[in-house]
């Protein structure tokens, strides 16, 4: 099956089914978890710079709200579908439970190509989207953040549009904001820092230091570039990286600071002088200690999984491994740090941002980073303790840890019928 044919929501449901059976989840709860609580589809008329109107399709999905307001990013991409957004909303339910922050799971997306929109078009699209989903978002309802194709500027437009409608300051309606609007220090690099922390823990589990380990990173956006920089600063040797335009490698180790400069100037890793071009699909099977998929879903499938030579996969992206690839990786002794743990650094610091907004009291960067290490290492230990207890793989272990936390909260609340 090609990766475009793998439905991400069905992939989420497949892992949920395996975890629920192993855990012995109550049938009623299983049925509730299989379907999102609320899915909203909106049509967004936008005046384009050429004077024509375009109508875009947007989604906001809330998967489960038992443990708190929905939390989850907004993706701008041509491949956004309702099922993709439903999958990502569900992963947010499990992710917030794995790191034990008081949120449920939500996600949003607009079918568009952010690279072809001018700043003005992007702003008008964002504002119209927020105006359409106004009734279901808010600091106590659903708190968006950035994802693929969106950034701190997009979050500033989200904040402004929401605040104009409610006619008061509600900074906690969105996270990943610029610092000058109540953003948190450390948020920009938080997902990459979470990748670093979990990669270090995973190496420790194999009895090896992170320093000197070889790394390949797929995707060089927010998550991939920050993870690359932090892993490099921790002494790992980054030998291959890619983005949607191509891949490069240097087995002696890439000069990361020069690469970051090249990307800030050219917007791509391709053409970097200190490396040779490589086939992007070969990056996933390149011999390295640590592979960090940090692009998009279904990159490691049953077709290429047998060829993966990494010792550890740290899933910076959401859903990069198709369900059929998991047993192959497990059989081959590849340690997978699953997305709902590995990339949870972003939502953890988003939680810190939301707390700081509500307190009106802001933390030093050192405090943010120390607390992040604390949350992520606890989540890592809890995930692997559950994995060992149920004699399963870490993805199912993480799902069981999350299911247990959400199920306990749901049992106390009961079903309102």
Q: Is residue 72 involved in binding ligand NAD (CB under 6 A)?
A: no
Burial of 158 by CB count in 10 Å (0-12 exposed, 13-18 middle, 19+ buried)?
buried
With respect to ligand NAD, which residue has the nearer C-beta, 20 or 218?
Answer: 218
Kindly state the tokens that stand for 127.
Answer: 């504002």
Which residue's C-beta sits nearest to ligand NAD? Answer: 221
260 and 232 in contact (C-beta within 8 Å)? no
Give the shortest CB-109-to-ligand NAD separation in angstroms.
10
| H or E stretch covering 256 | helix 256-266
Q: Does 191 bind ligand NAD (CB under 6 A)?
A: yes
Candidate segments 209-217, 252-260, 316-324, 389-397, binder of ligand NAD by CB under 6 A: 316-324
Between 109 and 148, how does the x/- string for binding to ligand NAD read (CB under 6 A)? -------------------------------------xxx
Cβ proximity to ligand NAD, 66 vs 296, nearer residue: 296
Comparison of 62 and 392: residue with beta carbon closer to ligand NAD: 62
Is residue 219 within the footprint of ligand NAD (CB under 6 A)? yes
Residue 294 in contact with residue 317, Cβ under 8 Å?
A: yes
- Calpha distance 217→91 (Å, rounded): 22
CA 329 – CA 308 distance, rounded (Å)? 8
Please identify which residue in 294, 328, 334, 402 interacts with ligand NAD, judged by CB under 6 A.
294
Among 159, 195, 223, 275, binds ligand NAD (CB under 6 A): 223
CB-nearer residue toward ligand NAD: 174 or 223: 223
Check residue 280 for interaction with ligand NAD (CB under 6 A).
yes
Q: What is the largest CA-CA distance in the chain?
A: 63
Size of the site for ligand NAD (CB under 6 A): 24
- Give the number of residues written for the chain: 417
Please identify, among the stretches 20-28, 54-62, 166-174, 222-230, the one whose residues bind ligand NAD according to the rule CB under 6 A: 222-230
- Where on the phi/psi map is residue 219: left (φ > 0), alpha (ψ -120 to 50), or beta? left
Q: How many C-beta neighbours within 10 Å does residue 373 have?
A: 15
Catalytic residue among 86, 107, 177, 249: 107
Query: Which residues pair with residue 249 across a beta bridge?
Result: 240, 276
Q: Annotated catalytic, 107?
A: yes
Residue 154, interface with ligand NAD (CB under 6 A)? no
> Is residue 315 close enough to count as binding ligand NAD by CB under 6 A?
no
Minimum gap (Å) between residue 46 Cβ and ligand NAD:
20
Q: 50 — phi, psi (to 5°)? A: -85, 10
The answer for residues whose C-beta is within 8 angstroms of residue 213's C-beta and 6 or more apart is: 199, 203, 236, 237, 289, 290
Does position 183 interact with ligand NAD (CB under 6 A)? The reply is no
**Cα(83)–Cα(7) distance, integer angstroms:** 7
3-state SS assignment for residue 39: strand
Task: State the residues that interact with ligand NAD by CB under 6 A.
Answer: 146-149, 191, 218-224, 242-244, 280, 294-296, 316-318, 343, 346
Q: Which residues are catalytic?
A: 107
């Amino acid at each position: 099956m090609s990766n475009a044919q793998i439905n991400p929501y069905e992939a989420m449901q497949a892992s949920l089914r395996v975890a629920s059976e192993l855990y012995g989840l109550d049938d009623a709860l299983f049925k509730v978890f299989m379907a999102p609580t609320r899915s909203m589809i909106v049509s967004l008329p936008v005046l384009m710079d050429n004077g024509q109107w375009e109508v875009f399709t947007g989604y906001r999905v809330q998967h489960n709200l038992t443990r708190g307001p929905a939390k989850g990013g907004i993706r701008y991409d041509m491949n956004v579908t309702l099922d993709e957004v439903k999958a990502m909303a569900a992963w947010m339910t499990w992710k917030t439970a794995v790191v034990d922050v008081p949120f449920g799971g939500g996600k949003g997306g607009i079918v568009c190509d952010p690279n072809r929109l001018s700043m003005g078009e992007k702003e008008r699209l964002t504002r119209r989207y927020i105006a359409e989903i106004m009734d279901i978002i808010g600091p106590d309802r659903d708190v968006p953040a950035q994802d693929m194709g969106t950034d701190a500027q997009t979050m500033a437009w989200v904040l402004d549009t929401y605040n104009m409608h409610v006619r008061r300051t509600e900074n906690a309606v969105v996270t990943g904001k610029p610092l000058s609007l109540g953003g948190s220090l450390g948020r920009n690099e938080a997902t990459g820092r979470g990748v670093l922390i979990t990669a270090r823990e995973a190496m420790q589990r194999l009895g090896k230091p992170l320093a000197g380990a070889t790394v390949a990173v797929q995707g060089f956006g927010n998550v991939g570039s920050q993870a690359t920089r932090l892993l490099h600063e921790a002494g790992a040797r980054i030998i291959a990286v890619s983005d949607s335009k191509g891949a490069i490698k240097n087995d002696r180790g890439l000069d990361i600071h020069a690469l970051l400069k090249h990307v800030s100037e050219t917007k791509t890793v391709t053409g970097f002088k200190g490396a040779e071009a490589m086939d992007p699909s070969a990056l996933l099977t390149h011999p390295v200690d640590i592979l960090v998929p940090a692009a998009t879903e279904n990159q490691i499938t049953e077709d290429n999984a047998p060829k993966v030579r990494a010792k550890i996969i740290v899933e910076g992206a959401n859903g990069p491994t198709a369900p059929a690839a998991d047993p192959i990786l497990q059989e081959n002794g590849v340690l997978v740090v699953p997305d709902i743990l590995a990339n949870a650094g972003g939502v953890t610091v988003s939680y810190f941002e939301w707390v700081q907004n509500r307190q009106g009291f802001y933390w030093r960067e050192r405090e943010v980073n120390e607390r992040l290490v604390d949350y992520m290492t606890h989540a890592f230990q809890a995930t692997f303790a559950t994995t060992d207890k149920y004699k399963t793989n870490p993805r199912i272990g993480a799902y069981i840890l999350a299911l247990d936390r959400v199920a306990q909260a749901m049992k106390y609340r009961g079903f309102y019928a």
